Amino acid sequence: MTYPNILFILADDLGCWSLGYTGNQDAITPHLDGMARQGMVIQNFFCASPVCSPARATLLTGRMPSVHGVLDWLDGGNMSTAGAFPVEYLREFRGYTDYLHEVGYQCALSGKWHLGDSMRPQKGFGHWYAHQYGGGSYQDAPMIRDGIPVHEPGYITHAITRDAVEFLHRRDPARPFYLSVHYTAPHTPWLQGHPRRYLELYRDCTFDSCPMLPRHPWQIDFEEFDQDRLAMLRGYFAATTAMDEGVGQLLDTLDEEGLAGNTLVVFTSDNGFNCGHHGIWGKGNGTNPINMYESSIKVPFLARMPGTVPAGTQLQGLYSAYDVFPTLLDFAGVSHTETHLPGHSFAQLLRGAPEPPSEGEDGPGVVVYDEYGAVRALRGTRWKYIRRWPTGPDELYDLLDDPDECQNLVDKADRTLVHCLQKRLDNWFAGNCRPQTDGRFAGVTGAGQLKVHTAVGFEPGSFNPQYSALR
């Protein structure tokens, strides 16, 4: 059997609103805009959790956070520290890359991992050029190369692209490949470390695409977010443009190697981001309590494979990070033995099948779910319901009349509607999570998850009580 190659490109904290093909007049993203023209755009694609590590763990395993147990960004267990050792958070679960590896794929990672034990290749990966932690400086970044911790000289976005391009050049041409390119862009920091040539592109930009709203009452305090707004936005957009340039280099390399016609290229982000949207800087944990605004949970999704994925296709339904595991394996023609996965394959749509119509207003096929600790959301075509255990505040938005989520209707709407949405949300999570990793009862704060492996064994996982850094 001839398997297709897969190039999976993942951004970090990239808001769906921030790219040119979505209509953003400020953004300089020509290569991603080109992908949108040459392939498929999913207009409504949602992460599983609006923070990096849980979202990434769900993409890889197909499991919800309240099953795989990665419930917040990982503040421990990535590298050895005094008296403690790395932790493999996902040891209990298989990733789709395990299945690809077993049928002969060369699996390679270039960039951010942030799922524990950064030193050791996991989940079927052979090539392993991984960030030691989850993020940090764009210059002299801490990486793992050939099993050795190094500080990579230069700009990390360029280094990740360079490593991925080198893999494409030296891969075994007799075997299919799966290549994950996980950029740290456009995650903070924004105020230093970005090459001048990218910053200069936005020197005179007024960033009309980013609203100037009063500070949200739930906004948490971060020193960086009190800096000059235009300087922060220049950094965010410059980091995005540098990543876009890297995407262009990867696509050019596929052309040079004669691989474009047999390589599915997917581009998405781990979670969304607010750059002033709703008066917030940050993602889900940019506020206390945690938020589930569209700008935090909605992410871009592009797919390209000339001759297979129809050019100019735009899907209008609702799709989720839960769908990635079954879709990629289905598209590759690789079977798996996982059961009770919450996602569904849309591989047939990538191959040109027409998108089925929705099943009516917020019917069974047009609802997606998100979670972050004790906060859970149901998002349909019209209604979006957010529940916070145990005492709220809960939210309800009519996305047809109020797409910007300005008016919370939870105390004004018909109680029958609210009860119906609540029951539907509760039933879905009850049928898909497991008690020992249920995020409602874990004490998640948005300030990071810890797990310690010492010489005498594992200490139970815990969660930082207050914010010290934004991951």
What one-character-per-residue DSSP string does 386-433 give? EEETTT---EEEETTT-TT-----TTTS-HHHHHHHHHHHHHHHHHH-
Chain mean position to CA 35: 18
Give the whole-angstrom CA distance, residue 446 versus residue 76. Answer: 14
User: Does 3.40.50.2300 match the CATH number of domain 5-355?
Assistant: no
Which one-letter amino acid corresponds to residue 273? Answer: F
Find the length of the chain. 471
**Residue-level pLDDT at 111:** 98
**Residue-level pLDDT at 83:** 76
Query: Which residues are 129's β-sheet partners?
Result: 110
**Per-residue pLDDT of the chain in tens (471 residues, 90 and over written 9):** 799 999 999 999 999 999 999 999 999 999 999 999 999 999 999 999 999 999 999 999 999 999 999 999 999 899 988 777 899 999 999 999 999 999 999 999 999 999 999 999 999 999 999 999 999 999 999 999 999 999 999 999 999 999 999 999 999 999 999 999 999 999 999 999 999 999 999 999 999 999 999 999 999 987 777 789 999 999 999 999 999 999 999 999 999 999 999 999 999 999 999 999 999 999 999 999 999 999 999 999 999 999 999 999 999 999 999 999 999 999 999 999 999 999 999 999 999 999 998 765 665 456 899 999 999 999 999 999 999 999 999 999 999 999 999 999 999 999 999 999 999 999 999 999 999 999 999 999 999 998 867 665 666 678 888 664 444
**Residue-level pLDDT at 471:** 45
Per the CB < 8 A criterion, the answer to whether 130 and 122 are in contact is no
Measured in degrees and rounded to the nearest 5, phi and psi for residue 389 equal -85, 145
Per the CB < 8 A criterion, the answer to whether 305 and 261 are in contact is yes
Domain ranges (residues) in the chain? 5-355
Give the residue among 101, 157, 108, 154 at the shortest CA–CA distance from 129: 108
**Residue-level pLDDT at 469:** 44
Number of H helices, E strands in the chain: 11, 19
Chain mean position to CA 403: 22
**Residue-level pLDDT at 313:** 96
- Non-local (6+) Cβ contacts of 395 within 8 A are 292, 384, 385, 386, 408, 410
**Residue-level pLDDT at 458:** 60
**DSSP per-residue letters across 3-70:** PPEEEEEEESS--GGGSGGGT-SS---HHHHHHHHHSEEEEEEE-SSSSHHHHHHHHHH---HHHH--
Give the whole-angstrom CA distance, residue 324 versus residue 344. Answer: 8
Give the residue among 378, 173, 134 at the shortest CA–CA distance from 262: 173
Half-sphere exposure of 210 (CA within 13 A, CB side): 23
Give the residue among 56, 59, 103, 52 at the shortest CA–CA distance from 341: 59
The owner of tokens 């999976």 is 8
Give the whole-angstrom CA distance, residue 14 versus residue 28. Answer: 14
Peptide bond into 189 cis (omega under 30): yes
Question: Alpha-carbon torsion 182, 74, 318, 16, what sign?
Answer: negative
Chain mean position to CA 164: 19
Model-level pTM? 0.96
